[in-house]
A and B are shown apart, each in its own frame.
Chain A
Amino acid sequence: MILCPSCSQRNPEGAKTCQACGEPMEGFVYRICPSCDAVNAAESAFCHRCLTPLDGSVALDSASADDVPVTPYTPPSAMPKPEARARPKSAPASAADAGMTPIITTPVQRPSADSRRAPADLPAHLNTYGDAASTPDPLTLARDPLVGLDRLLPFEEGVLAAQRSPLKPARRERDRSQEDADLFHRVATEPVRMGAAGRVVVPAAAPPLPRWGRAALYLLVLLAALAPWWSGNLAGPFVQPRPSVMAMADDLAAVPEGGAALVAFDYGPGAAGELDPLATAALQALAARSVRIIALSSDPAGLGQAQRVLGAIAAELPDYRYGADYVLLGFVPGQEAGLRAVGESLAGAFPADYAQASPLTALPAMRDITTVRDVDRLIVIADDGQAPRRWVEQVQSRTGVGIDALVTAAVEPLLAPYRQSGQLGHVVSGATGAVEYRRAVGIPADARDQTDGYAALAIVLLGVALITNAAEAASWGRRVVGNRRAQGRSDRGR
């Protein structure tokens, strides 16, 4: 007996169409055991519970295949609760008495001795369950602990009810392919205007500010950004380096003349405006004391930044020459694996330098330096939190070399735990950090510090916060007063 894939109606073996809904019986997925009423997969040859053959060779005792009563389709919402059907003693005498549509009309049939196959007909793996020939009761063939407890356990009906629910007919593979092809054709040929994607993706939420408000905010931010060009560097003289910046400046000043610093330029052009001044300020102080700078990058875009910053420093210090005083090792791929290789051997990670393609042993700047342990300082300049973290995890934790980080302002809070734990030595951030560092090493204030821009931005943001909060408070007050007046009018009306 097989189940209709559309309405779960039981149909006799070999049925082409469902006797209840008329749908074709192709692709049915369940087959009902005529003996124990267990649900089996469609391809099963034997019942998984009582080992009765399911191929239709067993004739029903009380009804032939043609006499199987047809039950109409019953939606799941109209099906009786499992508890009601699981307790036959307390249930009405019949489903019809209870006003329900009978779902199971085929009486449970136990396999008779004739309906069972001989052990010789059974597959070998099924015979291992027991000697069927010496055991007259087929139920003992199966070692299923539920055998014999049918209809006694309260949950069987509940379990089977879900399987008898209407099954969604499986889509044919050809239909699915055709639908995919149609969808692809529609997406590929649909004309899209410029900007249409943005309007579709971004939900049409109410803007936080009206159009004129946004325009005013843009204008104020632009004026703040242009403040260094019209304000006259009013805030610059008031900038004082923080103790952490002073400590880093002191530590870099303690690097002996002729010492070496390994510098990782792990930032791209997008952060150049923020990090180039910081890198220049820190490395210029080292180069001025003839400290060798060994540069590398684990970011492909970082090599360009290294070339520009080191080139600018060398342009101001004519005696500071490539190969003798500073060298660019190149790009180290592989992220964690690459940094691990750098931590073990610089020559192993870089067969040659980037600019001259010379072996590292041929470069005077690399004398006495084979690993990161041989340098005096290790400085990581990064525009994201991942690069310093990788340096700490792959290099600092294995070699114990102290790492200083020059990062963007957005990254500094992410590195605070590493600085607190001592894994990072110093962390200086942002363009303001560059201004502080220049003050710490004695460089006077300059309009290019952009300090007036930050001061103007702070004023703009403070003003916007005050105005918007005041407007929100006024709006809230108007709502409260309006509600009270409405309440008063309502009370007077009564």
Chain B
Amino acid sequence: MSDAFAGLVAALPANLPQTVGVWVAAILTLAALSYVFGDNPAFRVAQYLFVGVAAGYAASLAWTSVLWPRLRLLLSDPVVYWHYGVFFVLGLLLLARGSRYVAPLAALPLGVLFGTGAALALGGTLTGSLVPQVRATIVSVSPAHYGEGLIAWAYALDALLLVLGTIAVFAAFHFSAQGRGRLAVAGQRLLAVFGGAGRALIMVTFGALLAGALLSFFTILTSRLAFLLNDWLGVYLNVGL
């Protein structure tokens, strides 16, 4: 039986796995593109397959690339790699959440997980984003700071626009009650003007994001069409300039 199976496998073309893979990918691509005609069973099958395969791949990767290499080190030399044992114990404690009686044991690894993650995220945001970004908006608007000539004025204008744009966007998110008195009314009007400019800048930003997303989706479409035409149908119509 096994000889017959081995013979059958040997008789198959060498590139059969690639061929099957291309056919599966092509059928799933067509199923995904069928959504242009509305929701349908083919699209749903492709969608569920994608979710299931992605979950299985992530689980497999977690074992082969994360857990097993460290477990092998721990088993080979526990004295040197004892800290991996601590991590494995913490990981096993997470499984305690499955039982109501020992669920509190999972609080320790969860605390370590969320505490470490929150601390690193907060610290990184402060030192890597907030402070540098605030510092980047403190720029000189003097042309003398950028050299001489027209280019210095251009840089100064760019810096001025950066500062005014930052203030305008901040003003767009300013909400307060209507004040009384001339000074308060004047301040409110000034904030309204800056807020309007800030909203316009935000719209420009959203427009840039939308245009970028459109280009990305269009590129994905062209890449899938290229796959269907080149790899699946084998019809490459490159006129080749």
Contact = CB atoms under 8 A, between A and B. Distances in A.
Interface stretch (A55-63, A92-100, A177-185, A426-434): A426-434
Interface string B45-63: 0000000001001100110
Interface stretch (B10-18, B115-123, B189-197): B115-123
A247 interface: no
B70 A354 contact: no
B54 A301 contact: yes
Interface string B100-144: 000000000000000011001100110111001101100000000
B239 interface: yes
Contacts of B41: 194
What 10 A-B pairs come out closest when comparing CB atoms?
Answer: A273-B223, A393-B128, A393-B124, A421-B136, A397-B128, A195-B39, A410-B212, A409-B212, A409-B215, A410-B213
Nearest to B33: A222
A300 interface: yes
A351 interface: yes
Interface string A388-422: 01101110111000000000111111100100111
Interface string B204-241: 01001101111110111111111001000000011111
Q: Classify chain B: how many residues form its interface, as a range.
A: 35 or more
B124 to A, nearest CB: 3
Contacts of B241: 232-233, 236-237, 445, 447
Contacts of A336: 117, 120-121, 124
A340 B38 contact: no
Contacts of B219: 273-274, 408-409, 430-431, 450
B166 to A, nearest CB: 10
A448 interface: yes
A225 B129 contact: no
B209 to A, nearest CB: 5
B66 A393 contact: no
A470 interface: no
A11 interface: no
Contacts of A340: 120, 124
B22 to A, nearest CB: 14
B240 to A, nearest CB: 6
12 contacts: A224-B218, A272-B223, A273-B223, A274-B223, A334-B117, A337-B116, A392-B129, A397-B124, A410-B215, A413-B212, A431-B215, A450-B226
A397 B132 contact: yes
Nearest to B121: A336
Interface of A: 194-195, 198, 218, 221, 224-226, 228-230, 232-233, 236-237, 270-274, 300-301, 303, 330-331, 333-337, 340, 351-352, 354, 357, 389-390, 392-394, 396-398, 408-414, 417, 420-423, 429-432, 445-448, 450, 453-454, 457, 461
Interface string B170-198: 00000000000000000000000000000
A226 B221 CA distance: 10
A394 B39 contact: no
Given A195-B39, A331-B66, A336-B124, A274 B129 contact: no
Contacts of B124: 336, 340, 390, 393-394, 397
A223 to B, nearest CB: 11
A225 B239 CA distance: 16
A314 B236 CA distance: 24
A421 B133 CA distance: 7
Contacts of B21: none
Nearest to A396: B128
B216 A423 contact: no
B40 interface: yes
Contacts of A450: 219, 222, 226
A423 B134 CA distance: 13
B222 A273 contact: yes
Given A273-B224, A411-B212, A393 B38 contact: no
B65 A394 contact: no
A396 B129 CA distance: 11
A413 B209 contact: yes
Nearest to A417: B133
B49 to A, nearest CB: 13
Contacts of B129: 389, 392-393
A357 B225 CA distance: 37
B203 interface: no
A300 B121 CA distance: 20
B1 interface: no
Given A303-B65, A337-B120, 18 more contacts: A224-B218, A233-B239, A233-B240, A237-B241, A273-B219, A274-B223, A336-B121, A389-B129, A394-B124, A397-B132, A408-B212, A409-B215, A409-B219, A413-B212, A421-B132, A430-B215, A448-B238, A450-B222
A445 B213 CA distance: 25
Given A393-B129, A423-B128, A354 B65 contact: yes
A430 B133 contact: no
Given A300-B58, A337-B117, A194 B44 contact: yes
Given A392-B129, A411-B212, A421 B36 contact: no
Given A331-B66, A421-B132, A423-B132, A303 B61 contact: yes
B73 interface: yes
Of B117, B212, B238, chain A has the most CB atoms within 10 Å of the CB of B212
A68 to B, nearest CB: 49
A432 B212 CA distance: 11
